[in-house]
Every structure is written in structure tokens, then in C-alpha cells.
Structure 1
Amino acid sequence: MVTKEEKTTQNQCPVSAMVALIGGKWKPIILYCLRSDTRRFGEIATRIPTISRKVLTDQLKELEQDQLIIREQFNETPPRVEYSLSELGKSMAPVLAAMEKWGTENILNKQL
């Protein structure tokens, strides 16, 4: 979640603003996982096997609070919750695509 101090920094540097919003180990990966489809918690956890359930829960809450994802809860038995990118989250698609391209070209293909 973005703090007041980070919002002050955002006014000074757009890159800092972006890093404050999606920085950390898991947020970019979660956003990347949601880039093309709506997913349930278990699907996200399966696609990111090294993240703990608690950390995934916390990160999803922060992304929702920062309005990057939408959490939709269905009134069903058993309960069903789905996560998808918000319009703000979808606007990050070019950034995520650039990160994917750079990572593939400069890390995965070169085995750094």
C-alpha cells in the first residue's frame, strides 16, 4: 500500500511513484499473472508456487487498496472470489510487457 510519504515522493519523480505502487518482490508478478485473465486465489497461488498464502493474501489486499486490481466476491456455496486487473492495472500492461521483454532478452536468454 502506498503511504503518505511515498505519495509525496510520487509528486517529485514518476519512476519513484511507480516503484512505490508496484515495488517489492511479489506485486509485479501478481499483476503479470492477472494481465490476461480473471483468476481465483488458488489459480494465482498455483502460478506463483514460491509465494506463501499469507503473503499472497496481503499483497492482493494492498493491490486492491491501491486500485490496481478488483476483488469480486460471489454469493455462492462454497464461496468464490475472483481477482482481475482494474482499468488502472490494465494501463500497466505496456510496462509489464516491457519488463517481460527485457527479462527475457537480458536475463533468461543470457542465463545471468
Structure 2
Amino acid sequence: DKDGRKAMEYVWINLHRIDNEMIYGVVETPPAFSDSVKKGDAIKVEISALTDWILYTENYPVTPDTSYLIVEEMVAYKQHLLNKPENTEKSEQPELASADDISGIDDIIKNMD
């Protein structure tokens, strides 16, 4: 801006990868003010710039206010595994959730590194 400060734009990003310092994903909401990024763009953002988040699980969305639910589910799942017979068939194991397939996003993100 005119004071020399960096202007900020808040958008939702569909997360595709995260490392120690950066978040990589696709812009899901059209920016209100920025012309440098648009909905559908693959971007990387410093984790320190993260101001809010929602994790969509199979059962419910998890936000900073409900993040304790993740720990509760992890404890319940660990207890389930401890009580499970050793000869359980692989097909009975719960499936891991997968992200929506966005064609070519991995190649775009690799080129950002």
C-alpha cells in the first residue's frame, strides 16, 4: 500500500501439501482486491500467514475451536486397534480419506519449489 506495507488478501485454499514452512494448494475463493491471484490458481503461502483453517472429515468439519475432536478420534481409533483381533482381514481396515483429484496440480506445485 502507500505506506510501504504489504497488502493482505484473505482467501480459502484447498490444501494439497504442507511442509515445515509452506502451504501449497489451489485458491478456492475469488479474491476481493487482488489481481495477482485468482480462483483456481495454484499457490504457495508461508505457514506464518495462515489465519484460519477448516479440515473437512468424513464425519464433521474441524476448526480451531473443535480441533480437540481430532485427538479424541485418534485415542478412540488407537483403542479400537488395541482391542482388535490379530487376524483381521485387510479389507476390514478403514479407508483413509483422499483429497479431490485436481488434474496436474502436483506438477504445478513441484514447479513452485
TM-score by length of 1: 0.27
Task: Answer 1 or 2: which has greater helix percent.
Answer: 1
Larger Rg: 2
- Structure scoring higher RCO (CA < 8 A, sep ≥ 6) equals 1
Task: Answer 1 or 2: which has greater strand percent.
Answer: 2
TM-score by length of 2: 0.27
